[in-house]
Amino acid sequence: MNRPMTLGEKILARAAGLKFVSPGDIILAKLDLCLGNDITAPLAIKHFYANGGRKVFDRKRVALVPDHFTPNKDIKSAEQAKLLREFAREQKLLYYWDQGSCGIEHALLPEQGVVVPGDLMIGADSHTCTYGALGAFTTGVGSTDLAAAMLIGQAWFKVPPTIKLVFTGKRKADVTAKDMILTAIARLGVDGANYRVLELTGPAISSLSMEGRLTMSNMAIEAGAVTGIIAPDKITRAYAQRRSQRRPRYYQSDPDAKYERVEEFDVSRLEPVVAKPHLPSNVVPVSQARDVVIDQAVIGSCTNGRIEDLREAAKLLKGKKVSPRVRTIIFPATPAIWRQALKEGLLEVFMSSGCVISPPTCGPCLGGHMGVLAKGERAVATTNRNFVGRMGHPESEVYLASAGVAAASAIKGRLALPREVRGKDWKKGVKK
């Protein structure tokens, strides 16, 4: 008789060739895909060669995405991108994108159908957990692990326990997936799910678009989780059917699967929130932080740079100007999203309102380029981390929020609610 398993455990068992696995088991599993970028892959490539590597295990199972410092910001980043480019050509990799076709990796791969439901995947980037939104088991590793994966196509795992997060209720206006996951991180803490799987479920998850689900899975790592996984449903299937480059596998947790614990969230009680410096768990309602003056607004990243996010920002910015004190930078996450935003007139809205539009790149999210903060400056950003010095100077500050909050804040020059720029300004308690 088969033991009941969670969705994540079923994927690990399949990849390891086992009938079942349990938390704590050590397994060696075959990978469906491994991923590197222009920061992590160069070291992996050096280890690949140093350990006798001549050919990757499968040229169709290795993806390289130069997205962090591209277009190259300096000589060092140009050399790293060159190393990726030459390795991809030498190995004849199927999945390599260069400038013009390249986007932010965790938006690009699901969009292109490179990661599919049921996959087991590792990536040398902590936000590889994003693809859990597809019903895949995907997690971040170090560069040496990536080197080994490129050599043998396998990786070892200690099967993690699973925490089930159940989201119920109906969201109020302007409450987004970003507010939901920030609220969950605030309760769990940044280490509350260390080496656990977060299984995200409930009617409020089912009502989210794929964009919203990707946002939630993306930030699972901010609670310390291995991955943030969502069981496939009709929305997943429709998304995968249009783009999957391999056959998807659809798994569900067994009804009697065992969880380490269950946490419930009633989203009808939520309002738009912001994560204050310097932790993603330092969450308060935006209504309690509207005296925070900002210098920069960043709308984009692998968390919230998709077309749904740009549409929300454009609705608020249309016919308005951003504050003269706020540098507002828009980062469409992929070329396809950039083109769609152009087609829908969103880029014109952004330019008319005084925003800067970037090519698809990670940019200032990790303090890289195209929007680095100076000493004492504050930014509101749709990114996923606000650690000390994350976006520039160690004495700068980053406030994490949804695209709607970021756009409203850009207009007001301070943290603001979307409803405030729709003509329903709350004047009480707001510092001029």
Domain annotation covers residue 188: yes
355, 245: one domain: no
Choice among 307-311, 315-319, 420-424 with the minimum mean pLDDT: 420-424
367 falls in which pLDDT band (50, 70, 90)? Answer: confident
253, 345: one domain: no
305, 383: one domain: yes
Structural domain total, the chain? 2
> Nearest Cα to 231, choosing from 169, 162, 295?
162
Domain annotation covers residue 60: yes
280, 202: one domain: no
Domain annotation covers residue 286: yes
CATH number of the domain that 234 lies in?
A: 3.30.499.10
**122 within 8 A of 31, measured Cβ to Cβ:** yes
> CA-CA distance, 314 to 341, in Å (whole number)?
10
The domain containing residue 102 runs over which residues? 7-264
99 falls in which pLDDT band (50, 70, 90)? Answer: confident
**Quick count: other Cβ atoms within 10 Å of Cβ 345?**
12
257, 307: one domain: no
Q: Residue 400 in 3-state DSSP?
A: strand
Domain annotation covers residue 55: yes
Domain annotation covers residue 430: no
Last residue of a domain, one of 264, 288, 314: 264
431 falls in which pLDDT band (50, 70, 90)? Answer: very low
Please list the helix, strand and coil fractions of the chain in percent, rounded to the nearest 5, in that order.
Answer: 35, 20, 45
413, 346: one domain: yes
Domain annotation covers residue 428: no
212, 257: one domain: yes
Q: 89-112 burial string, b = 16+ CB within 10 Å, else e?
A: eebebebbbebeebbbbbbbbbbb
Last residue of a domain, one of 264, 289, 319: 264
260, 286: one domain: no
345, 249: one domain: no
pLDDT score for 2 = 74
In the 3-class helix/strand/coil scheme, how is 25-87 assigned residue by residue?
Answer: CEEEEECCEEEEECCCHHHHHHHHHHCCCCCCCCCCCEEEECCCCCCCCCHHHHHHHHHHHHH
Q: What backbone torsions phi and psi does residue 381 show, to the nearest 5 degrees? A: -145, 150
1 falls in which pLDDT band (50, 70, 90)? Answer: low
List 398's β-bridge partners, or say none: 379
22 falls in which pLDDT band (50, 70, 90)? Answer: very high
207, 187: one domain: yes
215, 333: one domain: no
Last residue of a domain, one of 239, 264, 289: 264
194, 243: one domain: yes
For residue 416 the two structure tokens come to 């603001």
Place of tokens 């599993």: 29
> CA-CA distance, 276 to 398, in Å (whole number)?
7
Each residue's pLDDT tens digit, 312-338: 999 999 999 999 999 999 999 999 999
**146 within 8 A of 273, measured Cβ to Cβ:** no
Contacts of 49 (CB under 8 A, 6+ apart): none
Question: Is the confidence at residue 427, as pLDDT, over 50?
Answer: no
Domain annotation covers residue 168: yes
Domain annotation covers residue 269: no
pTM above 0.85, yes or no: yes
Radius of gyration of the chain (CA): 21
| Residues listed for the chain | 432
Q: Residue 1 in 3-state DSSP?
A: coil
